Structure 1
Amino acid sequence: MPAAVRFGVNYTPSEGWFHHWLDFDLDAVRADLDSIAALGLDHVRVFPLWPYFQPNRTLIRPRAVEQLVALADAAAERGLDVNVDGLQGHLSSFDFLPAWTRTWHRRNLFTDPEVIEGQAAYLRTLAAALADRPNFLGMTLGNEVNQFSAGPHPDPDRASEAQIDAWLERMLAACEEGAPGRLHLHAEYDATWYQDDMPFTPAQAARQGAVTAVHSWVFNGTAQRHGRTSVPTEHHAAYLVELSKAWSDDPHRPVWLQEVGAPAPLIPPEHAAAFTAATVANALDCPDLWGVTWWCSHDVARDLADFPELEYGLGLLTNDRRPKDTARVLAEAAGRTHVPAAHRTVALVVPDDPAARSRCAPGGPVFDAYFRLAADGARPTTVLDTRADDKDHLAARGITEVVTPEQVLPTPQGGTSS
């Protein structure tokens, strides 16, 4: 019997946002966790800020690590499991990188040997500190660290696909050394699936680490093109879950919808609950879904400056810990018994070549064909062009029909069908 789908939230402290690590208040954390547990959720994803925890390459602050453990223990008291992101990294438009990697000490995050050893020591230390906690799920290497490796970042740390392969292998090994047997993974934003020159690739996302993680944000052109109640907008998270499966070597590899939220003004606050309900329902129709972790727990306080406007209101709960309608929707979903999703039998062909990923992005032919199928009532998944004739692979995934985007989309005016 497949495991039950997990429901959780990305924990954004109500007091001080992630800067709360500078003035750590366990009572405030407990109050936040109480408000999360009251929704019936079962886990939180938490974010140490890397420069606060490792301000020097050879200094990992013991007091900061103790505070992280105290947070995990407080979560356990409330029945909440904990996933810990290590290399923060990037959060809500702000970069948090230690001084020993920037300006006068500028070194590449993914290729410099000393930086890599410092990162590995940090991840291993955090994992080891939590290894004996039953509610510790495991480590995520960092939050969307791929954004540092290519444009549109203003100062990227360029690396090749092979160098990223080696970096991921080293970082995941460090987590395993610290906490053997836990759910250690890496997680990137959707450029991994959509951007042709991104050195973090779909194959890495779907094959390295214990589960595949996807982050779904409809401000990537989806909601702008199609509107808030469209099939592409309401099924975008499900699309990423199913798109990721094309590259997996395991036909039933779990996929974690690790970030998804309702960003205003594309999803106005008065429509956020409906968007949440549709997004969750469609994601639950994906087989092998590990869990849904909403972004985020609490709003950002308005007295904190310079956030993009949409970041202030993404919480399930207000800054004073009152649940919104979105919280009630997620709580209702978490409280229901869910029948495991059936196989998706129709597979759309996607290119194996990472230089052709833009075909899968909003406006691309794979993207458009997938949602044409979904709008017609099909429950599509995806398969690589290099596996489209592999009968054993298709059978293992329950796929009985394979179609190309050209077979799904109308022929352009003046063109001929292929």
Structure 2
Amino acid sequence: MPSAVRFGVNYTPSEGWFHHWLDFDLDSVRADLDSIAALGLDHVRVFPLWPYFQPNRTLIRGRAVDQLVQLVDAAAERGLDVNVDGLQGHLSSFDFLPAWTRTWHRRNLFTDPDVLDGQAAYLRTLAAALADRPNFLGMTLGNEVNQFSAGPHPDPDRATEEEIDRWLTRMLAACEEGAPGRLHLHAEYDATWYQDDQPFTPAQAARHGAVTAVHSWVFNGTAQRHGRTSVPTEHHAAYLVELSKAWAADPRRPVWLQEVGAPAPLVAPEHAAAFTEATVANALDCPDLWGITWWCSHDVSRELADFPGLEYGLGLLTNDRKPKDAARVLARAASEPVPAPTPRTTALVVPADPAVRSACAPGGPVFDAFFRLTADGARPTTVLDTRADDRDHLAARGITEIVTPDQVLPAPHGLQGGTRS
């Protein structure tokens, strides 16, 4: 029996990276998709670059939209479903924002009425163009757009939590208008879960859209603090999956591990396969996991300049479409049946107040307590402090034991015995 968990990859074109939209070559795309399909994966996440598709607020390029449809159709021919990110946004350290939102036309991405009209029209147009394609999964609003809303971005578009809530509601509605009934969602980088002043909150991540998306990168301090083979590093993706469940209104809400990868030098190339195997196995031990989508499909060509060093080698496949050892690990996981994991009955209490969510970040007491429990074999999940006495909520999630960080950690708190060689 095939696994109910979806296995896929974030598609990074082998020729021209995401700039391939400027010189779209369907034959090259088909060859890339052949190399992905050969791994036995079932879906790709694709990234039309926003300024290339909507260079003017009232101009959405028809040819670009047609090329996106051609890509989705080519994926269908190879048995691949497709999720489409809309507002790119930000990819691999580069910002891609249309000129009508920057410099002389500087307008807030999340609050300006004209910008919101343009964004909604763009998302609706992409979704509508794909609405009749059976292999179109749905839209993601954009890639980690929360990075535009606060530091450390050098020029953030500030917004309040309430303004972000309205933005998410409107943009997801635009996707639904374009393609009713598809899997529409939004996705942020882990500052949503870890950074106290982020206006994108954990509650929004866990309650807006069809599924919760988490992006797991261990260069956030996890691997630096604990090392490549530590419990926190190898279980970081699983931690984010389980952390997200504390805020979900639906006790069985699916969680999509939408980005996860093996970043050098913290995970050296010769260790990428082992890291992949451990990360995937631990994520699969999380109930209600929708899928795992690895970052990324193909390496970035060394002919392209100015990327951070780690970005060049994140591909499961080389720039000439040859699979690496990590690709074989993911292919094997995709081909094997995955038993449904048993419920996680021990829940660690986390603060509901987003102003203190740094307690969940690397070095925080929630983070450290979760991995001490994990190292002891407890298979923890999480619950909000405001729900820790809600018997109905706990029963719906199968939780039978509640612990707080101070009950888990020694004083002063620290992660002891939480790593392995």
TM-score (norm 2): 0.97
Aligned residue number for residue 60 of structure 2: 60
Aligned residue number for residue 396 of structure 2: 396
Task: Tell me how far apart the structure 2 counterparts of residues 156 and 341 of structure 1 sit (CA, whole Å).
Answer: 41
Aligned residue number for residue 156 of structure 2: 156
Letter paired with 1:105 = H
Q: Secondary structure at the match of 1:66?
A: helix
Aligned residue number for residue 219 of structure 2: 219
Residue-by-residue CA offset, 1:200-253 (whole Å, 9 max, x unaligned): 000000000000000000000000000000000000000000000000000000
Aligned residue number for residue 339 of structure 1: 339
Q: Secondary structure at the match of 2:245?
A: helix
**Identity of paired residues, percent?**
88
Q: Is the 8 A contact 1:348 1:383 kept in 2?
A: yes
Task: Tell me how far apart the structure 2 counterparts of residues 371 and 302 of structure 1 sit (CA, whole Å).
Answer: 37
TM-score (norm 1): 0.98
Q: How does 1:2-401 map to 2 (within 5 A)?
A: 4-401=4-401
Letter paired with 2:37 = A
Task: Tell me how far apart the structure 2 counterparts of residues 257 and 199 of structure 1 sit (CA, whole Å).
Answer: 22
Task: Tell me how far apart the structure 1 counterparts of residues 214 and 73 of structure 2 sit (CA, whole Å).
Answer: 27
Aligned residue number for residue 419 of structure 2: none
Q: How big is the shift at 1:411?
A: 1.9
Aligned residue number for residue 416 of structure 1: none
Q: How big is the shift at 1:3?
A: 7.7
Over aligned residue pairs, what C-alpha RMSD do you find?
1.0
Structure 2: gaps of 5 or more residues: 414-421
Q: How big is the shift at 1:412?
A: 2.1
Q: Is the 8 A contact 2:3 2:337 kept in 1?
A: no
Q: Is the 8 A contact 2:238 2:282 kept in 1?
A: yes
Letter paired with 1:140 = T
Task: Tell me how far apart the structure 1 counterparts of residues 217 and 15 of structure 2 sit (CA, whole Å).
Answer: 25
Letter paired with 1:394 = L
Letter paired with 2:407 = Q
Task: Tell me how far apart the structure 1 counterparts of residues 180 and 3 of structure 2 sit (CA, whole Å).
Answer: 21
Q: Is the 8 A contact 2:2 2:336 kept in 1?
A: no
Q: Is the 8 A contact 2:359 2:365 kept in 1?
A: yes
Letter paired with 2:268 = P
Task: Tell me how far apart the structure 1 counterparts of residues 272 and 72 of structure 2 sit (CA, whole Å).
Answer: 30
Q: Secondary structure at the match of 1:259?
A: strand
Structure 1: gaps of 5 or more residues: 414-418
Q: Secondary structure at the match of 1:174?
A: helix
Q: How big is the shift at 1:326?
A: 0.4
Residue-by-residue CA offset, 1:126-174 (whole Å, 9 max, x unaligned): 0000000000000000000000000000000000000000000000000
Residue-by-residue CA offset, 1:165-209 (whole Å, 9 max, x unaligned): 000000000000000000000000000000000000000000000
Residue-by-residue CA offset, 1:237-281 (whole Å, 9 max, x unaligned): 000000000000000000000000000000000000000000000
Residue-by-residue CA offset, 1:54-110 (whole Å, 9 max, x unaligned): 000000000000000000000000000000000000000000000000000000000
Q: Is the 8 A contact 1:197 1:355 kept in 2?
A: yes
Task: Tell me how far apart the structure 2 counterparts of residues 356 and 247 of structure 1 sit (CA, whole Å).
Answer: 14
Task: Tell me how far apart the structure 2 counterparts of residues 411 and 277 of structure 1 sit (CA, whole Å).
Answer: 34
Task: Tell me how far apart the structure 1 counterparts of residues 210 and 77 of structure 2 sit (CA, whole Å).
Answer: 26
Q: Is the 8 A contact 1:296 1:315 kept in 2?
A: yes
Task: Tell me how far apart the structure 2 counterparts of residues 136 and 269 of structure 1 sit (CA, whole Å).
Answer: 33
Task: Tell me how far apart the structure 1 counterparts of residues 319 and 168 of structure 2 sit (CA, whole Å).
Answer: 36
Task: Tell me how far apart the structure 1 counterparts of residues 266 and 338 of structure 2 sit (CA, whole Å).
Answer: 29
Letter paired with 1:223 = A
After the TM superposition, list the runs of 4 or more consecutive aligned residues in structure 1 that deviate by more than 3 angstroms: none
Q: How big is the shift at 1:2?
A: 12
Q: Is the 8 A contact 1:2 1:340 kept in 2?
A: no
Q: Is the 8 A contact 1:164 1:199 kept in 2?
A: yes
Q: Secondary structure at the match of 1:386?
A: helix
Q: Is the 8 A contact 2:3 2:338 kept in 1?
A: no
Task: Tell me how far apart the structure 2 counterparts of residues 3 and 266 of structure 1 sit (CA, whole Å).
Answer: 30
Q: Is the 8 A contact 2:253 2:288 kept in 1?
A: yes
Aligned residues between the structures: 413
